[in-house]
Amino acid sequence: MSENQNPQTNQRTVTTTAEQPRTTTAGETDERTRDAWTAYDFDGDAKMTVEDLDVYYGDDHALKGVSMEIPERSVTALIGPSGCGKSTYLRCLNRMNDRIPSARIDGSVRFDGQEIYQDGVNLVELRKRVGMVFQSPNPFPKSIRENIAYGPQKHGDLDTGLLARLLNRSDAAERDELVERCLRDAALWDEVHDRLDDNALGLSGGQQQRLCIARCLSVDPEIILMDEPASALDPIATAKIEDLIADLAEEYTVVIVTHNMQQAARISDQTAVFLTGGELVEYGDTDRVFEDPHSERVEDYITGKFG
C-alpha cells in the first residue's frame, strides 16, 4: 500500500486544485477538503466499511483510494459518468472483480467487521450474503418456481428431488413457501402466482428483473448490489423496481449503481459521486448532495454542465 500512496496523494492534489472549494479557508489543503466532502456522518451502523481501495486493470488505475462506509438497511446510490469506476467499486463489494484476471485490488473491505479480501474467505458464502442484480435481467431458462428454488437447493438449504424423497426429506412445502415469500417480497407474486411452472423467459423485461431480485432474495442475503437494475426497463417497470428497492431497504442493505441521476435522487438515502479517474469525490445524504453539493465538479456534473 505504501508504494501507491505517494503518486496517489499527488494525483489528488492535482485534480482538486482545478476547482475552487467553497468550504475551504485559506491554508486548508485540498486533500483535507476532499476528505471532508466524502466523510459521511450517519446514524446507525456501517454494514460495509471500505478503506483506501485501489483497483487496477493492468496499467489502468480504475479506482483511487476510495474510502466509504455503507450504512445498513438503507439505499446507497453510486453515480458518476461512464468509466468513473462506480461499477468497479460495486463489484469489489462481493469480490466479483476476482473473476477478471488483470484486476488487482489493494485496500480493505470489511463486511460486518470481517475483512473480505483475505485468504480463506468462502466466496460462495460471501456472494450468498452479498447478492447481485445486473443491468439485463438474466433469469435461468427454467420455470419461475425453479428460478427461485435453485439457489437454496444448490446451497443445501432445501432438499428436493428423488434422493430427498427416498430419504423422506423432501421440503416441497417449504420450497413453495419460500417461492411465494420471495416473489411477494419482489412484488411479483400477484402477477405470476397462477403460472409458476411457466418458463421465466416468457415474462416481460420488468417481470424478469423482479424475478432476478426474488431469486437474489431466496438465499437470504444481507446486502443486495444492483448494477443499473432498471436501465433496460420502461417507465412503469422502472417505477415498480424503484418502489421495490425502497421496500427492500427496510430489511436489506441496498447499493445501487445508476446512470439516472433522478433515479438516484428519488430512491436513495445517501449518494456517492464518482468522477472520471476513479475518485470518490463526494458522499453524503442524498438531499444534501442534490441541493447543496460541496464540490464544484460534482455540482457541474449533476447539473449537466459537463459529462
Partner 1 sequence: MPRDRYQHSLDELRSDVLSMGETVTERLDESLEALERRDDALARAVIDGDAQVNETYLELEEQCVDLFALQQPVAGDLRFVTASFKIITELERIGDLAVNLANYALAARQTVTPDVEIDALGTAAHGLVERSLAAYETADAAACRAVAAADDEVDARCQHANEHVTRALIARTDDRWSVERLLDDVSRVLLTIRDLERVADHAVNIAARTLYMIESDPELLY
Chain contacts with partner 1 (rule: CB under 8 A): 261-262, 265, 290-293, 298-299, 302-307
CA distances (Å), origin 245, targets 62, 215, 255: 28, 15, 10
How far is 111 from 223, CA to CA, in rounded Å? 10
DSSP state at residue 238:
H
CB of 302 to partner 1, least distance (A): 5
Which CB sits closer to partner 1, 235 or 304? 304
Closest distance to partner 1 from the beta carbon of 228 (Å): 19
Please work out, in degrees rounded to the nearest 5, the angle formed at the alpha carbon of residue 278 by the alpha carbons of 115 and 6.
75
Query: Nearer to partner 1 by C-beta: 106 or 299?
Result: 299
What minimum distance in Å lies between the beta carbon of 279 and partner 1? 19
Say which DSSP state 102 is in: T
Sign of dihedral through CA atoms 81, 86, 223, 46? negative
Q: How far apart are CA 256 and CA 79, in angstroms?
A: 9
The DSSP string of 183-226 is HHHTT-HHHHTT-TTSBGGGS-HHHHHHHHHHHHHTT--SEEEE
- CB-wise, 12 or 297, nearer to partner 1? 297
Q: How far is the CB of 75 from partner 1 (least distance, A)?
A: 18
- Measured from the CB of residue 82, what is the shortest distance to partner 1 in angstroms? 14
- Between 130 and 298, whose beta carbon lies closer to partner 1? 298
43 or 291: whose CB is closer to partner 1?
Answer: 291
